[in-house]
């Protein structure tokens, strides 16, 4: 799919065509919000939860005049038809649009939706710990912000050192999340995940596991990783993924608690 159809402010256009102005605040400032979700058999998985989180981010960034939820869901359906997809990875990106300065936004926000084939889910992943922190006091904490350069830089570091992803602590030393996923640890046969006050993303899969009481929030520290019998990550695009390595620690990638969490998500998303 070198060229495909995308949705831009209600219009379907070819991906190779210019879709934003040079002074768009998302491009210039990283001022925007996004959601990534998967579609299975033309069904956007957890779409209501994604739209609710998207709307929370839009409100926190004070972006006005954005498309209503029903227009966004209609746009996704249009894209699936136009690109002949029944399974897809969908990204919804919203910026304030163009503006003459950092403090002066225009009146027309930019909303872009893309739909591309889903990549293969990894059977397991490796993680490294890093010295950089997730700033839990940032105004962008907990948002899927388009200001993503920090995550991209840390992810490149992890990949260049032979790992798939990196674990970040908050400024107090508590475990927070990975650059692209939430983090879970099985300790004493219980599944724990860091609380939102560590600055981690309120992930959709994380939300479901907490609602179903499969996992609970707890302060976790790097030393707790050595006490864990299982580690796994979650994201909307990959679901539950076992971790087979954290730094020099090794874990089984076919562990019982991780498999149980995966079954809950697979069954719930299919219902």
Q: What is the pLDDT of residues 157-204, one digit of tens each?
A: 999 999 999 999 999 999 999 999 999 999 999 999 999 999 999 999
Q: What is the pLDDT of residues 45-86, one digit of tens each?
A: 999 999 999 999 999 999 999 999 999 999 999 999 999 999
What is the C-alpha separation between 97 and 99, in angstroms, rounded? 7
Number of alpha helices (DSSP H) and beta strands (DSSP E) in the chain: 6, 15
Pairing state of beta strands 88-95 and 110-116? antiparallel
What is the C-alpha separation between 156 and 163, in angstroms, rounded? 9
Q: What is the pLDDT of residue 1?
A: 57
Instruction: Determine contact, residues 93/19, Cβ cutoff 8 Å.
Output: no
Residues 6 or more apart from 246 whose CB is under 8 A from it? 126, 127, 128, 129, 167, 225, 231
**Structural domains of the chain, with CATH:** 5-116 (3.30.470.10), 125-270 (3.20.10.10)
User: Is the pLDDT confidence value at 140 over 80?
Assistant: yes
Write down the pTM of the prediction: 0.95
Q: DSSP label at 100?
A: S
């Amino acid at each position: 799919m070198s060229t495909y159809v995308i949705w831009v402010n209600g219009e379907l256009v070819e991906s190779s065509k210019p879709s934003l102005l040079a002074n768009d605040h998302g491009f210039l400032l990283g001022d925007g919000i996004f959601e990534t979700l998967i579609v299975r058999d033309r069904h956007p998985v957890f779409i209501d939860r994604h739209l609710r989180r998207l709307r929370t981010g839009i409100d926190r960034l004070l972006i006005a005049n954005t498309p209503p939820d029903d227009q966004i869901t209609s746009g996704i359906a249009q894209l699936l038809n136009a690109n002949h997809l029944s399974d897809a990875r969908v990204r919804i990106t919203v910026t304030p649009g163009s503006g003459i300065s950092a403090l002066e936004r225009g009146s027309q926000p930019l909303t872009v939706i893309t739909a591309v084939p889903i990549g293969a889910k990894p059977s397991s992943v490796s993680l490294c710990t890093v010295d950089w922190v997730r700033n839990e006091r940032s105004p962008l904490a907990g948002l899927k912000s388009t200001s993503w350069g920090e995550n991209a830089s840390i992810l490149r570091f992890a990949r260049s050192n032979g790992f798939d992803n990196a674990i970040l602590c908050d400024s107090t030393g508590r475990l927070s999340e990975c650059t692209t996923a939430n983090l879970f640890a099985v300790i004493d046969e219980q599944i724990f995940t860091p609380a939102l006050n560590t600055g981690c993303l309120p992930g959709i899969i994380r939300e479901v596991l907490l609602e179903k009481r499969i996992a609970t929030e707890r302060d976790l520290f790097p030393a707790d990783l050595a006490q864990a019998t299982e580690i796994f990550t979650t994201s909307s695009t990959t679901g539950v993924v076992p971790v087979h390595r954290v730094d020099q620690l090794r874990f089984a990638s076919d562990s019982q608690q991780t498999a149980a969490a995966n079954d809950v998500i697979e069954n719930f998303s299919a219902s």
